[in-house]
Structures are given as structure tokens and as C-alpha cells.
Amino acid sequence: MPVVTEGFFVDWDGNARNTLDPGGGYLCETDPVARYVAITTKGGTLVHEGTFYKSLGAIEKAGITAPLVPGSHPWGRKADGF
């Protein structure tokens, strides 16, 4: 079973998302030591990879401005066909 540690990652639109609620029907697998997040479909297909951050402050400290969005926020933009 995948390991999920509570934390954050930045999606492909520049939004911060919680690893416990990535939205879009996706699941997260995390490796905090490697600072890695894999976002997959329920069937296991990898759709996105990102850096694992323990807190929103850690994202800011890395110089990244990323608004936190809830899991209900859609992935992708309408202009991109989502």
C-alpha cells in the first residue's frame, strides 16, 4: 500500500495542494526523505511528480508563490481541455 505523509506539493498550474486531498480523483504516494510526491490515478498511472514540502512555509522558503487550493479545485484549465 502506498505511503502518504501529510504535506504539500505544487501542481502543474502552480497551486499548492495537500497530499491527503490532492483532488481530481488522484492519489498521492510520498517519500519525505527524498522530498518526492507521486500523484497517480486510482489505477496506479503516474500523472504528476512533485517535490514534497512539510508545510506551506517550506514552499514559501523555497521562493515559490503557490496559493493553497482545496481538493475540489479542478486540475488543469478550461483552455487546456480540462
Alpha-carbon dihedral 46, 48, 51, 56, rounded to 10 degrees: -120
Query: For the chain, how many structural domains are there in total?
Result: 1
Between CA 27 and CA 12, with CA 29 as vertex, the angle to 5 degrees is 65
Q: What is the pLDDT of residues 26-77, one digit of tens each?
A: 999 999 999 999 999 999 999 999 999 999 999 999 999 999 999 999 997 7
Model-wide pTM > 0.85 = yes
- On whether residue 9 sits in a domain, the answer given is yes
- On whether residue 81 sits in a domain, the answer given is no
- On whether residue 23 sits in a domain, the answer given is yes
Q: Name the maximum alpha-carbon separation found in the chain.
A: 36
Question: Going edge to edge, which strands form the sheet with 36-40?
Answer: 27-31, 36-40, 46-51
- On whether residue 75 sits in a domain, the answer given is no
Residue 17 is predicted with a pLDDT of 98
Q: Is the pLDDT of residue 1 over 60?
A: no
Q: Which domain holds residue 46?
A: 1-62
- On whether residue 24 sits in a domain, the answer given is yes
